Structure formats: C-alpha cells, structure tokens
Amino acid sequence: MDNKVVARVSWIPTEQGGKKRFPLINYSTAAHFHYDVADRDWSVVLNIISNYDNYETLCNIEFLFPEKAPGNLLFVGSKFELYEHRKVADGEIIEIEKEEVMR
C-alpha cells in the first residue's frame, strides 16, 4: 500500500511578494516543515488537483527523494512553508489516502 498525501496550499498574493504565476499541473520547490526537529528544508513535488480564486490550491504532495526524507513529517495537520528565493506559500496536510498498488 502506498499513500497519497493531500495538502491545502495558500499562496502569498503577488502584490505581497508572492509568485507572479501559480502552478497549474505540478511544481517542485523547497519546503520547511514546522515539526522537523532537525530544522531542515526538503525538496517536494506538488501535483495540483485544483486551484481556487482565493490563492488556494489543493494538491498531492510528496518528497522529491522519499528515500532520504523522514516520513514522520507527513501526517494530517502537519504544516509547512514553500520557498523559492523567499517564502511563497503556507501549507497543511489535510488528508492521507491509502492507495493499493497493483502487482
């Protein structure tokens, strides 16, 4: 069984220093998880499910290199920030969907 991790991302508006364009399909960037006791940043990939007019996105989130990242950061309620050269969004994991793998 694999898990799909669903997150809600709230983008910082462009006029407040956020991105000029918001991702439509997928997006890879650095993320800082509030509960990471080692206080590190991780490369993540967002696969966009839907975008809303209020600077909010619903997406699946996963680590770019899951074999090197701590899985204990991915739980419902886990909060994170997305960065490029600066902070561009806040996010929170809202659901974990169990997915069966066909073999």
Q: What is the pTM of this model?
A: 0.89
* Banded model confidence at residue 22, pLDDT cuts 50, 70, 90: confident
1 has pLDDT over 60: no
Taking 3-state DSSP, the helix, strand and coil percentages for the chain, each rounded to the nearest 5, stand at 5, 55, 40
CB neighbour list of residue 37: distance below 8 Å, 6 or more residues apart: none
Q: Report the alpha-carbon distance of residue 42 to residue 68 in Å, rounded.
A: 9
Residue type, 8: R
100 has pLDDT over 70: no
97 has pLDDT over 90: no
pLDDT score at 80:
98
40 has pLDDT over 70: yes
Q: Report the alpha-carbon distance of residue 49 to residue 101 in Å, rounded.
A: 21
pLDDT score at 21:
87
